Structure 1
Amino acid sequence: MSRAGGSQTYSCKKCARGSSCFPVHVATQKLATMRRKRSGRGESPDPEDVWRQFENLLADGHRPTVKTYTSLLSALGDVGAPEDAEEVLVRMRGAGEAPDARAYNAAVHAWCANGKPANAERLVEKMLGDGVAPDESTYPDIVAAYAELGELRRCESIVSRIESVCGDERAALRWYEKVYHALIRGCCAAGVPDEAEKVLQRWNYEQLDMERVAERKGRVSRPVTASYGMIIDHYVSVGAMGDARRLLGQMQWDKVAPSIEIFNMLLKGYLKFGNVGAAQDVFRELEGSGTWDMDSLGIKPDVTSYTSLMDHWANQGDVDLAEKILAKMELKGVAPDERTFGSLVKAYARGRNPEGAEKVLERMRRYDAPDPARAGAGRGGRKEPDWRRKGKKKAEADAKDGELRRRKLSPGVILYSTVVSAYAAVGDMANARRVVAEMSNRRVRPNDRTFAHLAWGYGQLGDVAGVTQTAQLMVDEGVSMRPGGSGRQALVRAVRECGLPASHVDRLLESLAPNRKGGGPRGVGRRGGGFKPGGVG
């Protein structure tokens, strides 16, 4: 057990010897996963939950490691308790563990994540006073937080003292890149991309400062592809496609090579905002018909490029154009993935052709990806130039990617659910429920969306018995029926289509109980043959 003061005694023998035991490892991992929920699902932990996990470890007689304390710091910062996070540093010292740069950085991040960079800066001064040297991860969060608050002068002050804090001249270049990227990210988050562009200009001008270049012995930090990509991504997200395209042109003037990701940002942005002509111009530029020399850059359209175009036509229900894009992909040696086939399924579904959508699933299972040697190892289906390769690790990753591309593709629950939706949309419930049964036979477990499509189909036909059978299947499959949940809401919509009140769902669910027999697979796969609700087939 821990005692107040610097000395500690532990009932765990391994911890008492100064080693790390398995329970400490488990608790550390648990703390590392205690994060604020941002998806709207589930409840976020509060500071008391985080502290309880840590205090239980102490109560069991175990010795937290520096990594445990760092995970505690990160978790407290993420759940909005920066004061508690700073208190952890005090407790570390009391337990005889000296906080290192990672621990201080976690506390700095906690203050910045909660919009208080001044407190983070104060903590850095304390860090220096304790003899702990900052590293390249210390200042970026502070700079980004100040930029989001519009305090750009504070950001400039931090940038100006990077070299005095970082003793290694080579490492200072990495520091500058991270800090400038944080400043750009913060400006974009604050909605002032013009200020982010000014950061790029200032950054580029540094290489023209001969005195500064001489001081650094010719080593000067300069913007890279990702520096422009962050601003382009912001412009695309707010629909400012003209500014996004202009900044791509600026990259050419600044002699910064773009990446396939940046072209894909523009492509998806134009399609999102309905400018198909401009999107096709970007695609033609990817194919080498623009101002960039794509051959020297090693860039060609990749699976994301083709799938973005296919998805656009799929949303229109244009099967012919979607199929043409797939054929062109295969001709160019670009292997389709799950997203590509998903777009094709959607095209048939939107075109009210559920049989065609189902056939795509079979095509996907039989599909054999092109030989990676034909497709090329580089980005966008070409061999990459030497300057873009990054040694042995890159080559190994490419080889592994080639192996993955040869694997057979298998439709997942989303694609099956789309086919179910397609059959339900045309009132063919016999085939809709057959597809649901086939999912379990192929070890694909239906989810709440799958059953929502099925229930909706029966609701459109006014088939109360079909809705009831679907509710039974949902209960059998363990779909959550909590009030306000997606499963329950799907049934409410279905019974309302049948002219019944929402309260009918409450009575219906009270009358149902899970019906699982034997040791076979759960739900529809085992019961598919006997599922014959009235009113259909």
Structure 2
Amino acid sequence: MGVLDRMRARGEEPSRSTMGVLAEAFVAAGCPADAEAAIGTLQNEGVKAALRPGRHAWTAIIDGWATEGVVDKAEAALQRLEADAAEEAAEIGPGRASEALGPDIVSYGALMRAYATAADGRGALALADRCEAAGLELTDPVYMSLVAAFWRSGDEEGAAGVIERMHARGHSPEPKLLSHLQHLIAQGAGADEAIASAHASAHGGVARGEALRDALAHSAADDPRA
């Protein structure tokens, strides 16, 4: 960490923003574990003892673990972020705690991507419930990962249920999400015949892609923008 050594030599101390950029650099290199180690080193050295990494750093680390599909480590990073926010609020008061410390929908979205990469639809759905319980509204990228988590696990009905959930909450998908869903349907329609046959047999003769297509059509029919 040559740049940090140079900062210290000049009598400067890393800030929360510095920690965020440092974490991003390690994650970009495919090393989320090194990112955690680096910010841990800064804290252990006593640099600004009260300084916590913050949302920027932890979200970068969550995103790094998401790329690898390591859900438990991504969850642990989010928990660290939540714990940091709670500790700071307890120390200086909720009204004075930094808004850049607690998790936001981008942080949760990064974690949702971990569940999608791991093809864990049920875990992703539980995370969606946690987001809403925290007062956060799911965005298109989060919904996209939620759909992907079910689809990759082979649970098309679960993926269709996500579209129904969007509809029930009055959320109209933007073009990028619609394109993503159509791509999933096309993948199902072009599946190997044996796989498609097995899926139809296991789901009462329903062809792969049909449930998702029907849910999407239902959502589109009630879209005020249509």
TM-score (norm 1): 0.33
Q: Assess, with a 3 A threshold, how the Cα gap between structure 1 residues 437 and 278 changes in structure 2: closer, same or farther.
A: closer
Does 1:267 pair with 2:2?
no
Which of 156, 159, 172 does residue 429 from structure 1 map onto?
156
Letter in 2 for 1:358: L
- 1:411 and 1:344 map into 2 onto residues whose CA distance is 13
Whether the 8 Å contact between 2:185 and 2:213 is mirrored in structure 1 is no
Q: For 1:74-473, what aligned pairs fall within 5 Å after superposition?
A: 245-286=1-42, 288-290=43-45, 293-295=47-49, 298-332=50-84, 333=86, 334-367=101-134, 408-462=135-189, 466=210, 469=213, 473=217
- Matched residue, 1:190: none
Letter in 1 for 2:54: D
Tell me how many residue pairs correspond in the alignment. 193
Q: Assess, with a 3 A threshold, how the Cα gap between structure 1 residues 322 and 260 changes in structure 2: closer, same or farther.
A: same
- 2:179 and 2:155 map into 1 onto residues whose CA distance is 15
- 1:452 and 1:521 map into 2 onto residues whose CA distance is 16
Whether the 8 Å contact between 1:458 and 1:467 is mirrored in structure 2 is no
- 1:363 and 1:269 map into 2 onto residues whose CA distance is 29
- 1:357 and 1:321 map into 2 onto residues whose CA distance is 15
- 1:314 Cα shift? 1.5
Q: Assess, with a 3 A threshold, how the Cα gap between structure 1 residues 522 and 436 changes in structure 2: closer, same or farther.
A: farther
Moved over 3 A (4+): 275-278, 463-470, 520-524
Letter in 2 for 1:251: M
- 1:252 Cα shift? 1.3
Whether the 8 Å contact between 1:455 and 1:467 is mirrored in structure 2 is no
- 1:365 Cα shift? 0.9
Whether the 8 Å contact between 1:317 and 1:347 is mirrored in structure 2 is yes
DSSP 3-state at the match of 1:416: helix
Whether the 8 Å contact between 2:131 and 2:138 is mirrored in structure 1 is yes
Whether the 8 Å contact between 2:160 and 2:212 is mirrored in structure 1 is no
Q: Assess, with a 3 A threshold, how the Cα gap between structure 1 residues 428 and 264 changes in structure 2: closer, same or farther.
A: same
- 1:270 Cα shift? 1.2
Cα RMSD after superposing both structures: 3.0
Letter in 2 for 1:313: W
Letter in 1 for 2:18: I
DSSP 3-state at the match of 1:294: coil
Q: Assess, with a 3 A threshold, how the Cα gap between structure 1 residues 468 and 319 changes in structure 2: closer, same or farther.
A: closer
Please tell me whether Structure 1 or Structure 2 has the larger radius of gyration of its CA atoms: 1
Whether the 8 Å contact between 1:345 and 1:419 is mirrored in structure 2 is yes
**RCO comparison, higher one (Cα < 8 Å, 6+):** 2
Whether the 8 Å contact between 1:425 and 1:457 is mirrored in structure 2 is no
Q: Assess, with a 3 A threshold, how the Cα gap between structure 1 residues 425 and 455 changes in structure 2: closer, same or farther.
A: farther
Q: Assess, with a 3 A threshold, how the Cα gap between structure 1 residues 269 and 468 changes in structure 2: closer, same or farther.
A: closer
Q: Assess, with a 3 A threshold, how the Cα gap between structure 1 residues 264 and 469 changes in structure 2: closer, same or farther.
A: closer
Q: Which digits, 9 at most, give the CA deviation of each residue in 1:198-241, with x for residues without a partner?
A: xxxxxxxxxxxxxxxxxxxxxxxxxxxxxxxxxxxxxxxxxxxx
Letter in 1 for 2:20: N
Letter in 2 for 1:365: E
Q: Which digits, 9 at most, give the CA deviation of each residue in 1:154-204, with x for residues without a partner?
A: xxxxxxxxxxxxxxxxxxxxxxxxxxxxxxxxxxxxxxxxxxxxxxxxxxx
Whether the 8 Å contact between 1:413 and 1:447 is mirrored in structure 2 is yes
- Matched residue, 1:225: none
Letter in 2 for 1:261: S
DSSP 3-state at the match of 1:249: helix
Letter in 1 for 2:83: L
Whether the 8 Å contact between 1:310 and 1:340 is mirrored in structure 2 is yes
- Matched residue, 1:382: none
TM-score (norm 2): 0.73
Letter in 2 for 1:314: A
Whether the 8 Å contact between 2:185 and 2:212 is mirrored in structure 1 is no
Whether the 8 Å contact between 2:112 and 2:146 is mirrored in structure 1 is yes
Q: Assess, with a 3 A threshold, how the Cα gap between structure 1 residues 432 and 523 changes in structure 2: closer, same or farther.
A: farther
Whether the 8 Å contact between 1:429 and 1:457 is mirrored in structure 2 is no
Q: Assess, with a 3 A threshold, how the Cα gap between structure 1 residues 450 and 329 changes in structure 2: closer, same or farther.
A: same
Q: Assess, with a 3 A threshold, how the Cα gap between structure 1 residues 360 and 277 changes in structure 2: closer, same or farther.
A: closer
Q: Assess, with a 3 A threshold, how the Cα gap between structure 1 residues 313 and 441 changes in structure 2: closer, same or farther.
A: same
